[in-house]
Amino acid sequence: MKNEIQVFICIIFLAGFAGRLHAASDYPGAEWIPACPTNYTSWNNGVGDIKYVVIHLAEGTYNGTISWFQNCDSQVSTHYVVSSDGDVAQMVKEKDIAWHLFNDYYGIKSIGIEHEGWVDEPEWFTDEMYKASAALVKYLCDKYKIPKTKAYILGHSEIPGESHTDPGPLWDWNYFMNLVTGGVVIKTGNLMGFVKEGDIYTGKAIAGAKVELQTGDTAYTDSNGLYKFNGLVEGEYEATASKAGYVTKSGNKYVAADVDNWMSIALDKVACQPACDGKECGSDTCGGYCGFCADGFYCDWKGKCKTLSTDVIEIKDNAFEIAEDIPVSVEETAAFETVDANEADIGTEEHQEEETEQPEEFHAEESSQEETGFEQEPLPRGSGGCSHGGSGNPCLIFFVLVLFLVFARRSGILSAKSSF
């Protein structure tokens, strides 16, 4: 008796669990069999977000496909799976993104439906499968306001950038679409055109421009500036073209059935908007000026006006002169005194050398005068000291270096802690 009660409780639990699974499906005709949570992306798609239905062929059985989507290592899923017997399982919520396409644009905006079978074995494509799948597609199109045309109900092989060939050439698209539309013939046409710069005839093609219809459908121009929408239901459409750096522009066109309807759009470049990004002076982003500094100021590399140093440096006769009104620190005074002391020592040494060499010099002068009868001008004195200039004079070079260091210290080029 105890065992019978346990079995009864298990049956009640399983029945309730199955009921909850069925109730969890979005489509009333589907059984809820969830895929592994790591095989899809939780999202919040709704009306206006979902624009396409994509038909897949599993290259496998119904149960094998369900098992594969529940395998967390597979990293793949579709929203629904349909069997040859007409059974339908929902494995990913319609609001979430199933991992059934490499093309992210279509993957995010579509519902994927997998069918059991193989592309080269048409016996899998039973009437029960076609009818069950068509009923599901009709439900999805009505729910998310997707046009029941081949422009929005696509095979996996029709998705740009995909390498798959399913559902293959043996899938009966005419019969399937007739079931989806209920036998109603929906007239469709194509909308295409160029997006060019300035003029639709002579302007430069704009590649990568976005063209969006009022329905939310989007296309991008190719390298020639060409865009195209296929399978639009006959009617009036507004197309808006846009790209960064250009002024967005819209145009209206009535799309007639069974023909290519042309509407090209010319975009004008956005006028340069000057920006200074906090600069007080210097050039702006358009080649103009952000401002000018007042007298006594200069513009630094960051575009800020800075006060000119009170140090006045003039270049005169290849030497630097410092204005008399510059206050000199103790360290700078010591540097000048060192220079003066060096000059004094060198001058004393020169004087001693001159006194020592003077007799020979005088004798040479006297001898020369006796031989020629003319007085010769004495040689310049101190030619090796600091009393005379010259490009190779070590004292002048040292003096200029000291003055440069003083100027650099006071103008901020070198801090008080800087050293060589």
Residue 112 lies in a domain: yes
What are 60-110's pLDDT values in tens digits? 999 999 999 999 999 999 999 999 999 999 999 999 999 999 999 999 999
Average pLDDT for 348-355: 50
**Among 47-51, 86-90, 211-215, 347-351, whose mean pLDDT is lowest?**
347-351
Do both 334 and 396 map to the same domain? yes
Do both 224 and 357 map to the same domain? no
Could you tell me the two tokens for 149? 């045309």
Which CATH number does the domain housing residue 50 bear? 3.40.80.10
Do both 207 and 333 map to the same domain? no
Do both 102 and 215 map to the same domain? no
Q: DSSP class of residue 214?
A: T
Do both 58 and 107 map to the same domain? yes
Do both 87 and 128 map to the same domain? yes
Average pLDDT for 223-249: 96
d(C-alpha 196, C-alpha 200), whole Å: 5
CA pseudo-torsion sign 393, 397, 403, 404: positive
Other CB atoms within a 10 A radius of the CB of residue 246 amount to 18
Dihedral over alpha carbons 69, 160, 82, 27 (to 10 degrees): 90
Do both 46 and 150 map to the same domain? yes
The model scores a pTM over 0.85:
no
d(C-alpha 33, C-alpha 40), whole Å: 14
Q: Position of tokens 């109730």? A: 23
Read off the pLDDT band of 334 (50, 70, 90): low
**Among 214-223, 307-316, 382-391, whose mean pLDDT is lowest?**
382-391
Do both 208 and 171 map to the same domain? no
Do both 93 and 238 map to the same domain? no
Residue 417 lies in a domain: no
Please tell me which residue, 347 or 286, carries the higher pLDDT value. 286
Residues in the chain: 420
Read off the pLDDT band of 418 (50, 70, 90): very low
Domain that holds residue 195: 188-267
pLDDT for 309 equals 65
| Percent helix, strand and coil across the chain, each to the nearest 5 | 30, 25, 45
Which CATH number does the domain housing residue 206 bear? 2.60.40.10
Do both 61 and 208 map to the same domain? no
Q: Taking a C-beta distance cutoff of 8 angstroms, is the pair 105, 49 a contact?
A: no
Do both 25 and 66 map to the same domain? yes
Alpha helices in 182-240 (DSSP H): none
CB-based contacts of 303, cutoff 8 Å, min separation 6: 276, 278, 279, 280, 281, 282, 290
Residue 347 lies in a domain: yes
Residue 77 lies in a domain: yes
Domain count, the chain: 3
